[in-house]
Amino acid sequence: MRGWRKAPYTFLRGAGRVLELAGRASIYLAIGTLRLADLRTAIAHSWDELGPGDDDVSSLMPWEQRLYARFLKTADRILLVGSGAGRDLVGLLKLGYRVEGLDVASRAVAHSRHMLDKERLTAELHTGAIEAVELPGSFDAFIFSWCCYSYIPQLATRVGVLRKVKAQLNPGGRILISYIPAERPPRLLANRLTRFAGHITRSDWRSEPGDVVVASGDWRGIHYEHRFSPSDFENEAGAAGLRVVFHERGEVGAAVLIV
């Protein structure tokens, strides 16, 4: 490139980078202005929009098969939290487990009913957020489906959810949880910008270390997840008065809690 062309190229490239960073910053600020109810609606919307094909509905992943075979009994009454469109619900039923489903996304629950009918299986299905719904009795085991625990905003709410299900456990009961592990240092700047916007606008939620929030389209396209270090997860379990008896961290974190 000729020398006289280098200066404007370098300037415009730098300006583009500044605009890109400014755009990202404005997104983080915008996310911080949302109310907690809006964030939860966006989470439910994202799961309503995610519909698996019929071919993967009844399959359990290898790590799920190992975990369930080790810690569940066929006589257990089980509540599958985040049962979604029925993938692991149908898989558990086919293995002979007594399982009920709970999901926040109404369309996913409707699809799950369709799949149960198709497979000639029966199960009680409940619609609502685990943090708000009245639980239908006591259970021998709670399963938080594939990383759905990571989609519950706010540490205090997650600890409250663990305390809630702990109160509904039968003697000898177990809580099986999978979560999204933290793979890299937290995005501190994004977190701080989102917290700042929430403080200024007096939003009723604050982004916390480990939160990852991505916006696509309007506010209903927001994707939220919380990523855990192993110690973060065990601290939450301890705060709820639960003991970790099994903890495995790979591409998916998996743990079993007892009273």
Q: Residue 113: is its pLDDT beyond 90?
A: yes
Helices (H) and strands (E) in the chain — how many of each? Answer: 8, 9
Residue 55 has pLDDT above 50, yes or no: no
Go through the domains of the chain in sequence order and give each one's CATH number.
3-258 (3.40.50.150)
In order of 92, 186, 232, the CA distances from 190 in angstroms are 39, 9, 20
Residue 75: count other Cβ atoms within 10 Å of its Cβ.
9
256 vs 54 pLDDT, higher one: 256
- Min mean pLDDT across 199-203, 239-243, 253-257 is at 199-203
